[in-house]
């Protein structure tokens, strides 16, 4: 399915705002289903990275350079999580101060979202992966923001700019002449970010280190759907 050009930009924005609206209206208390969706999104994004991005980025390029940039992407995401405290993979370990905008959280999430928009560049499969990853993260982020003491205007500004960053990354990738020649380098960096995020989601310990059949099923489902796209 090929999306109209404009929808490539609109779909990630709608995913964030619809997630926020869902939390605002439904006020979900139980995060178990969201965590299952998060596990599915991690498996789906990881599989698409292996099936779509890795073969593409290595083709015709210096393998060692690509490998270095993938590792750089992993390290970049580790650095960003020092400020976001794991918000990109569904964890919120931050206490917001009343009437104080969480600038470091905002900047780290914005940079992450900007980078993840780069590989889209007309690739609908990756767009699916990013949107499915973004929905549970946006839900958990929205729950956190709505339950905080942040002012409504600041909260809406946070969600609004966050929703725009992935389309901005896609726009830069599709319009920049520099990206036309060196886009594979940024894609390799994004692959590192995706690998870190998805593997953390999949392999971090579940509560009590217990076997979770539902989580295993959704992981297998995510990989299977990605394979057949």
Neighbour count for residue 31 (Cβ, 10 Å)? 14
Span 6-55, pLDDT tens digits: 788 999 999 999 999 999 998 887 667 788 888 899 999 999 999 999 99
pLDDT of residue 69: 96
Helix (H, G, I), strand (E, B) or coil at 102: coil
Query: Does the pTM exceed 0.85?
Result: yes
Mean pLDDT of all residues in 48-68: 92
Instruction: Give the model's pLDDT for residue 1.
Output: 47
Do you know the residue count of the chain?
229
- Residue 208 confidence (pLDDT) above 60: no
- Token representation of residue 194: 């995706």
**Cα(215)–Cα(139) distance, rounded to whole angstroms?**
18
Q: How confident is the model at residue 99, as a pLDDT?
A: 59
Gyration radius of the chain's alpha carbons:
17
**CB neighbours (10 Å) of residue 50?**
16
**Residue 179: per-residue pLDDT:** 81
Name the phi and psi angles at 37, rounded to 5: -65, -35
When pLDDT is averaged across residues 86-95 and rounded to a whole number, the result is: 66
Q: Answer for the pair 38, 136: CB distance below 8 angstroms, yes or no.
A: yes
Q: Do 17 and 158 form a contact (C-beta atoms < 8 A)?
A: no
> Which tokens hold the place of 226?
């990605």
Q: What is the pLDDT of residues 166-205, one digit of tens each?
A: 999 999 888 888 887 888 899 999 999 999 999 888 876 4
Q: Measured between alpha carbons, how far is 227 from 229 in angstroms, rounded to an integer? A: 6
Closest CA to 173 of 126, 118, 125, 122: 118
Among residues 98, 10, 119, 109, which one has the least CA distance to residue 54?
119
Taking residues 78-107, what's their average pLDDT? 74
The per-residue pLDDT for 149 is: 74
Measured between alpha carbons, how far is 212 from 203 in angstroms, rounded to an integer?
Answer: 12
pLDDT tens digit string along 97-147? 555 677 888 899 899 999 999 998 665 788 889 999 899 889 888 888 888
């Amino acid at each position: 399915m090929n999306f109209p050009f404009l929808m490539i930009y609109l779909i990630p924005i709608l995913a964030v705002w619809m997630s926020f609206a869902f939390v605002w209206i439904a006020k979900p208390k139980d995060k178990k289903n969201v965590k299952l969706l998060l596990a599915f999104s991690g498996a789906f994004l990881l599989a698409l990275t292996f099936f779509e991005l890795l073969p593409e980025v290595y083709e015709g390029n210096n393998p060692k350079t690509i490998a270095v940039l993938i590792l750089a992407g992993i390290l970049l995401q580790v650095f960003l999580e020092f400020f976001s405290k794991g918000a990109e993979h569904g964890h919120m370990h931050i206490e917001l101060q009343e009437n104080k905008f969480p600038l470091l959280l905002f900047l780290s999430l914005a940079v992450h979202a900007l980078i993840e928009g780069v590989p889209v560049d007309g690739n609908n499969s990756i767009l699916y992966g990013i949107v499915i990853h973004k929905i549970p993260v946006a839900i958990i982020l929205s729950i956190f923001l709505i339950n905080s003491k942040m002012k409504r205007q600041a909260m809406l500004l946070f969600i609004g700019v966050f929703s725009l960053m992935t389309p901005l990354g896609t726009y830069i990738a599709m319009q920049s002449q520099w990206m036309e020649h060196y886009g594979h380098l940024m894609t390799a960096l994004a692959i590192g970010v995706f690998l870190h995020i998805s593997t953390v989601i999949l392999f971090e310990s579940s509560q009590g280190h217990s076997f979770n059949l539902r989580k295993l099923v959704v992981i297998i489902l995510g990989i299977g759907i990605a394979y057949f796209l």
